[in-house]
Structure 1
Amino acid sequence: MGHREDLLEGAKRCLLERGFVRTTARDIVKESGTNLASIGYHYGSKDALLAQAYIALVEGVSDDFDAGERATTGTRPGSLERFEEVWSNIIGTMQGPDSLWRLSMEIVVMGDQVPAVRDHLARAQREGARGIIPMLMGGEEPDVDDEQVDTVGKFYMTLMMGLIAQWTFDPQTATRAEELTEGLRRVIDAARTSSS
């Protein structure tokens, strides 16, 4: 591996251990076995490196979700069963004390202190909204259009952020996938009843 890759791997480890705000350039250099000048040369700044490291971590989790989706037990895309299965997998990644989703909450809470990271990740959030749709609804990510991202994708990302906040704040009372699914089922039933 070269310095660029070593820095990225070191930054990922630092993020999981220390978070954004507490990770220093020296921490990354120590963890990666590189030097301070390498950060500026390869990434421009520590914040840009941390943003790339966070995106790489999220993409790793996304790859795990994709593998889990391919191994589904035959649940139909768009069904309540698929909804529960996917959210159960997502919630499973939120349960550990070193969950990378805690970093998302750090950005929300301390975003003004890390503006370069916040701005970079705000742009990446749109792609997250595009990527979550096929997991739940089927299809392929390249086929998801902007209108779907701005409606269905944003709906799912709102659920995701709410779950991340709950699991970060109080895992004992945080919403479980079966509760989320039952809530959706009741909302659908109420909408059907009111439109008849």
Structure 2
Amino acid sequence: MGHREDLLEGAKRCLLEKGFMRTTARDIVKESGTNLASIGYHYGSKDALVAQAFIGLVEDVGDAFSEQFLDGGTNMAPAGSFERFQEVWEQVIRTFPEARGIWALNLEFVLLSDRMPGVREVVAGVQGEGRKGLIPLFNGRSESDLDAETVDTEGRFYQTLLNGLVVQWLFDHDSATTAERLTEGFRRVAGAASEASEHPPAVRPTS
């Protein structure tokens, strides 16, 4: 690997070991076997490098999960079904123990991002890609076929659920919501909404 890749991998290891606030440029240089000038040359600043390292860690988890899940082929439940919804979340939750350090890092970023404006700006710019990557797991469509409205609605829905599950699991994984309970809750909410749409309450005449 060249210095650019060495810096990125070194920054990833530093983040997992020390977190955002305790990771310094000198830590990254020492871990990667490079020099301070390389950070500016390849990434512009330490914040930009740390942001790319964080994004890379999250993408690594997503890629590993997608490969594991999508390899199921015909064994997967039909796209868009409640069974598929539960199946995906079961797989996601199974990744939490191995990826605990990354999810804890994610929570630290959420809590402290206002103290890292340079990192926050870069990470905020790729949030849409994260939403887009979740959707195919549930509806079976290719990312290239997704329109902006789908990403901004369905993608946000799945991303919100994921963030909530992560926080619950980090706080107390024994009491965190299971895929089964999440699916049953979704089934009930969807059923009630469908019922209300089919049988709207009568409008009382105004006097």
TM-score range, shorter chain: over 0.9
Question: Is 1:26 matched up with 2:26?
Answer: yes
Alignment-derived partner of residue 57 in structure 1: 57
What is the correspondence of 1:98-177 to structure 2 with a 5 Å cutoff?
98-177=100-179
Q: Distance in 1 between matches of 2:76 and 2:87?
A: 11
Moved more, 81-90 or 107-116: 81-90
Q: Distance in 2 between matches of 1:53 and 1:110?
A: 17
Alignment-derived partner of residue 182 in structure 1: 184
Q: Distance in 2 between matches of 1:49 and 1:98?
A: 22
Question: Is 1:69 matched up with 2:69?
Answer: yes
In the superposition, relative to structure 1, how do residues 78 and 175 fare at CA in structure 2: closer, same or farther (>3 Å)? Answer: same
Q: Residue 24 of structure 1: CA displacement?
A: 0.9
SS in 1 for 2:34: coil
Deviations 1:59-117 (A, max 9, x none): 21121122123222231111112111211222222235743122221111001111111
CA contact (8 A) 2:51 2:119 kept: yes
SS in 2 for 1:14: helix
CA contact (8 A) 1:16 1:99 kept: yes
CA contact (8 A) 2:16 2:102 kept: yes
Q: Which segments of 5 or more consecutive residues in structure 1 lack a partner in the other structure?
A: none
Letter in 1 for 2:111: V
Structure whose alpha-carbon radius of gyration is higher: 2
Aligned length: 196
Q: Residue 33 of structure 1: CA displacement?
A: 1.0
Letter in 1 for 2:29: V
Identical pairs, percent = 59
- Please give the root-mean-square deviation of Cα atoms over the aligned residues, in Å: 1.5
Q: Which segments of 5 or more consecutive residues in structure 2 lack a partner in the other structure?
A: 199-207
